[in-house]
Chains A and B, each alone.
Chain A
Amino acid sequence: MGQYAIRRVLIAIPTMLGVTIVAFLMIHLIPGNIVQVMLGTRTNVTPQQIQQLYRLYGIDQPLYLQYWHWLSQLLRGNLGFSLRTGLPIATLISQSFGVTAELALGALVVAVVVAVPLGMVAALYQNSPWDYLARGVALLGLIIPNFWLGTMLVMVTSIYFPVLSVFNYVPFLTNPMVNVKDMIVPIITLALSLMAIITRMTRSAVLETIQLDHVRTARAKGLKQFAVNMRHVLRNSLIPITTIVGLQFGYLLGGAIVVENVFSLPGMGRLIVDAINQRDYPVVQSSILFVSAIFVLVNLVVDISYGFINPQIRYQ
């Protein structure tokens, strides 16, 4: 087992190296550069001045050297500095990732809290109104694009709940009340699709469990006994649910990037897209690397722990 974990971790190393190369090339192959974008089309600058600015930003060097500088700093644990603002990228990421993580975690909590009971009730009372509700949620979550849902929620809240329609991020530690008020709509927006998946998973996992012999027996003996055995049902169903939650969390990060954009929240998505637009190379590279690292890490943890639960997976 330990061997499996070690192998997975070792494989992740060349993967991350590949990610640095892709992230670096991605931004450097885009036409235009930071100086051009900074000056725009309305300033009055001589070619000599432009050369000077290129030197100032270190973009007159060959690409492999620029890559090597970045990589060698990374290995020393230094994410670098923004060319545009001079701020340490670690600071920028810690601020922005806070927003993204809050959104993703919040959505995860909301989704689990709603979907697990809903899925269970739906499975236990098949074809009841609860079941139809659960299946409705599962279907809607799957087909409604979250950015459209966000837009519709902005429209509805601005008419009926104007208080909720201001999305102006205030960090939780600065003002928890305002933070929760402003994040609630974005979190619901992001949660819906996950809710759909978890509801589906829970429903089918519980359905499967209650077909098991001992549960059937318990059910036949009477509902009271059955209630006691719900513990087993729940426990048995929790394994696939936990797995799917783990697997989805990585993808929630991606979803958060889009939802941030809908509500103009200052998260990783905005950090990266703004930096791409301004050709702030080190910020783009380091932030993309950071998000990918988190993504790979979460998947790794899920894979390894899943390997513990289900030994079969190790040999695939």
Chain B
Amino acid sequence: MALLTRKYVTNEAPSSNPKSRHRFDAGLWIGGGIVGFILILGLVAPLVLRHPDAMSAFYLASPGQHGFLLGTDQYGRSELTRIVWGIRTSLEISFVSIGIAGFFGTVMGLFAAANRTFDMGIMRVMDVLLAFPAILLAIGIMAMVGPGVISVIEAISVVYIPIFARVSRAPAIEQMTKEYVEAERSLGASTVRILFRHVLVNIWPIIIIQLSLAISDAILIEAALSYLGLGVVPPAASLGELLRSGQSLMFTAPWLAIFPGVAIALAVLGFNVLGDAARDHSAVRGK
């Protein structure tokens, strides 16, 4: 699973065969298409579907039975509705937490690049956070703050802040040695101005790519935490929570274990393909 294995934008070379130029655009289109589809599903579909907590008298109806396309769960709730709402919750969590982590991590990385003392201090703290396997740190934080949507957002943010700090720090240091920074400085520009008006603008593509990949990781971390019973808890629906409650019923009602997993894989696929394509694209452009 990607969340436990990839933590940074890797330096993997873009595939360098001659036809690749064509495929990058395909990647952007496919990734963008899937992400768009999921966003629409998460944002718009809940408005036309029933409330996810609405119960019916059809307990554990199999897919197609009694008009439930993906069947029902133990409370007689429509699995399709739950999954669509689950996508919404999972997206909310991933976007908000990665947004927070991206913001604070990047700011820290930028300041670390500008100030040696701050760099030493903040990077030691980041080292401590990076000394835990991501999932272990998230488990610990979840145990501390208790389950729930807000807690998952907190946990994922804390796990990802050091990653964004590191990802933005290295290229920012590189930028700080560039001539234009020296020029700006001699013109009397403040450090903050240099960092945000110039350095940030130059390292922005790297952060955007990391954001897209981190969102797909966040979907997986949310799912893992909720699957372990530490994350989003019922009656709220998230993809991981649906998987957790579905798994215990897998022999009686296999559809409850299968469909949420498909939804997760689809969402992760979209953000990954999009992120990768964007990376390849910018790498080609950069050459």
| Pair A292/B5 contact, Cβ less than 8 Å | no
Query: Which of A18, A145, A288 contacts B124 (CB under 8 A)?
Result: A18
Chain A residues, Cβ within 8 Å of B266: 143
Chain A residues, Cβ within 8 Å of B258: 152
| Pair A272/B264 contact, Cβ less than 8 Å | no
A143-B268, A197-B5, A255-B1 known; A316-B170 Cβ under 8 A = yes
| Pair B4/A19 contact, Cβ less than 8 Å | no
**Stretch with Cβ within 8 A of B (4 or more), from A34-42, A44-52, A59-67, A204-212:** A204-212
Query: Which of B4, B129, B170, B228 contacts A254 (CB under 8 A)?
Result: B4
Closest chain A CB from B225 CB (angstroms): 10
Docked complex: A28-84 residues within 8 A CB-CB of B: 29-31
Closest chain B CB from A134 CB (angstroms): 12
Closest chain A CB from B24 CB (angstroms): 15
| Pair B272/A142 contact, Cβ less than 8 Å | yes
Chain A residues, Cβ within 8 Å of B228: 258, 261, 273
A142-B268, A143-B268, A288-B140 known; A257-B133 Cβ under 8 A = yes
Residue tally, chain B, CB below 8 Å to A: 50
A18-B128, A152-B258, A291-B136 known; A144-B143 Cβ under 8 A = no
Answer yes or no: A238 CB below 8 A from chain B CBs. Answer: no
Query: Which of B4, B128, B131, B243 contacts A148 (CB under 8 A)?
Result: B243
Answer yes or no: B220 CB below 8 A from chain A CBs. Answer: yes
Answer yes or no: B144 CB below 8 A from chain A CBs. Answer: yes
Decide if the interface of chain A is mainly helix, strand, loop or mixed: helix
Chain B residues, Cβ within 8 Å of A14: 124, 127
Chain A residues, Cβ within 8 Å of B260: 148
Docked complex: A195-218 residues within 8 A CB-CB of B: 197, 200-201, 203-204, 207-208, 211
Query: Which of B7, B135, B227 contacts A257 (CB under 8 A)?
Result: B135
Chain B residues, Cβ within 8 Å of A16: 131
| Pair B257/A204 contact, Cβ less than 8 Å | no
| Pair B131/A155 contact, Cβ less than 8 Å | no
| Pair A258/B250 contact, Cβ less than 8 Å | no
| Pair B257/A155 contact, Cβ less than 8 Å | yes
Closest chain A CB from B155 CB (angstroms): 12
| Pair B12/A26 contact, Cβ less than 8 Å | no
Q: In the complex the two chains form, what is the Cα distance from A250 to B15 in whole Å?
A: 27
Chain A residues, Cβ within 8 Å of B220: 145
Docked complex: B223-247 residues within 8 A CB-CB of A: 223-224, 227-228, 243, 247
| Pair A211/B16 contact, Cβ less than 8 Å | yes
Provide a sorted-by-A list of 19 A–B residue pairs whose CB atoms are within 8 angstroms.
A11-B124, A18-B125, A18-B127, A19-B128, A19-B132, A26-B144, A30-B143, A143-B2, A143-B265, A145-B227, A145-B261, A152-B261, A193-B4, A193-B5, A204-B13, A254-B133, A255-B5, A257-B133, A291-B132
Point out residues on B near A: beta carbons under 8 Å: 1-2, 4-7, 10, 12-13, 15-17, 124-125, 127-129, 131-136, 139-141, 143-144, 146, 170, 220, 223-224, 227-228, 243, 247, 250-251, 254, 257-258, 260-261, 264-266, 268-269, 272
Question: With contacts A145-B261, A152-B258 known, what are 6 further pairs, Cβ within 8 A?
Answer: A22-B128, A31-B146, A194-B5, A257-B139, A291-B133, A296-B131
